[in-house]
């Protein structure tokens, strides 16, 4: 009697643990291999114009500081599109900030959310963090976490300047992101 009681209790415990595991959306026990997703998006970072999406909030000379100057802080709510043209479908926003964090002014530290509102990943988001040494053709950055479709995500991305109007500080940046998730 005592032994079978113990067995039942052990079964109960095991089932409870399994139920907890699945109900919390943990990675599937029987499918531990993460899935890999690649996505290419374009971020429109405009400091000037009617459609300006980036503002300088502070720096050595206050809000008048240049983005190209060490110490300048920029806040962005940039449109993210499927293709390089602003007319192509908007699938989300890049919201966050970047800081000119290299003493010679040639490097940014960026931290922002890629919030998808449409397309395959609508309702999900990716957290981007890393340095942007923008004089280089290709810059690699980290994808540190995510939500929705991208829970438990880890990955990296390659950033390239697709086009740049230096006079008006309007740039289109291509992000090629590769992530692993469950
Ligand atoms: C990951 O891949 C497995 C097996 O191919 C699939 O069953 C599962 O739905 C995928 N998960 C996501 C989030 O796409
Ligand atoms: C994206 O990057 C991967 C390597 O990480 C590369 O194989 C692929 O060709 C790139 N895609 C585009 C559209 O640039």
Does 110 lie in the same domain as 170? yes
Helix spans in 77-175 (H):
none
Q: Give the closest ligand to the alpha carbon of residue 138.
A: 2
Please write the tens of the pLDDT for every residue from 155-179: 999 999 999 999 999 999 999 999 9
Does 116 lie in the same domain as 76? yes
As for how many domains the chain has, the answer is 2
Does 73 lie in the same domain as 138? yes
Is the distance from CB of 152 to CB of 182 less than 8 angstroms? Answer: yes
Residue 15 DSSP class: H
| CATH classification of the domain holding 142 | 2.40.480.10
The domain in which residue 76 lies consists of 34-181
Please write the tens of the pLDDT for every residue from 64-108: 999 999 999 999 999 999 999 999 999 999 999 999 999 999 999
Binding site membership of 35 for ligand 1 (Cβ less than 6 Å):
yes
Query: Whole-model pTM?
Result: 0.80
Does 20 lie in the same domain as 93? no
Binding site membership of 31 for ligand 1 (Cβ less than 6 Å):
yes
Does 172 lie in the same domain as 88? yes
Is the distance from CB of 76 to CB of 51 less than 8 angstroms? Answer: no
Take atom 14 of ligand 2 and give the residue whose Cα is closest: 176
Does 95 lie in the same domain as 11? no
Give the Å distance between the CA of 72 and the centre of ligand 2. 31
Looking only at the bridges linking them, the beta strands covering 125-132 and 108-116 are antiparallel
Ligand 2 atom closest to residue 176's alpha carbon, by position in its atom list: 1
Ligand 2 atom closest to residue 40's alpha carbon, by position in its atom list: 13
């Amino acid at each position: 009697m005592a032994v079978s009681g113990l067995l039942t209790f052990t079964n109960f415990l095991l089932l409870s643990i399994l139920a907890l595991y699945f109900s919390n959306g943990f990675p599937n026990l029987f499918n531990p291999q993460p899935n890999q997703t690649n996505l290419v998006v374009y971020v429109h970072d405009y400091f000037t114009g009617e459609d300006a999406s980036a503002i300088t909030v502070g720096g050595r000379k206050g809000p008048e500081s240049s983005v190209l100057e060490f110490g300048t802080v920029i806040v962005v709510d940039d449109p993210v599109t499927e293709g390089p043209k602003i007319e192509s479908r908007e699938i989300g926003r890049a919201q966050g900030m970047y800081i000119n964090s290299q003493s010679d002014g040639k490097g940014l530290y960026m931290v922002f959310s890629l919030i998808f509102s449409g397309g395959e990943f609508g309702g999900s988001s990716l957290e981007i963090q890393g340095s942007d040494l923008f004089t280089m053709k290709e810059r690699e950055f980290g994808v540190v976490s995510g939500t929705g479709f991208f829970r438990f995500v880890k990955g990296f991305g390659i950033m390239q300047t697709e086009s740049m109007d230096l006079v008006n500080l309007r740039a289109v940046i291509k992000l090629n992101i590769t992530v692993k998730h469950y």
